[in-house]
Amino acid sequence: MTTTTLPIEPLTASEVDLLLLACSKRAPSGLRDRALIGLLYGSGLRIAEALALVRRDIDLVTGQVTVRRGKGGKRRVSALSVAGVSLLEAWLTRRTKLGAKRSQPVFCQIQTGKVGEPIAQSNVRQMLARRTAKAGLDKRVHAHGFRHSHAAELARKGTPMNYIQKQLGHSNLAVTSRYVDHLNPA
């Protein structure tokens, strides 16, 4: 059996905006999905890191997210975009009204009787497929792709490689350099 490796296609800011527009600004699921997309794109977190966040891990005032157990069990603090903070703020307000506890995952189920329970990565894949279709995007959109998009955007803006390394939680600069070079082939 032959496996095909698809090329990495980072999303542009306008494509992310289309995905956000495909999510309701009022329904709990739309607010949650908007916040998750905003967090992934605006911070470069891995999906497992994002789904493991609890309320104490997010500082809306400083715009920082604490990953307590990243890849390799490492702890790190990542910056969050201003837009990501705004989206998270809206979701956290609604999440509280739904009855989710601070100790439960930030990105949780919202169905009656399940409020606050964790959501699975497979649910995120399904959500992204629905939002991508609704947005009319002709790209493969997946959770890890937001990490690629975040790194590509930082590199495009001329962000120093050591900052990108810290933001992504890479153990050494060579890994980050290869990662960014792979996203922006010459």
Residue positions annotated with a catalytic role: 46, 71, 144, 147, 170, 179
Q: Which residue is listed with tokens 């997946």?
A: 142
d(CA 173, CA 166): 9
Token code pair at residue 147: 């990490």
Task: Show the DSSP H helices in the chain as ranges.
Answer: 13-21, 28-43, 47-51, 82-98, 121-135, 143-156, 161-168, 173-183
Tokens, residue 48? 């497992």
Q: What is the C-alpha separation between 38 and 80, in angstroms, rounded?
A: 9
* Residue matched to tokens 């989206």: 87
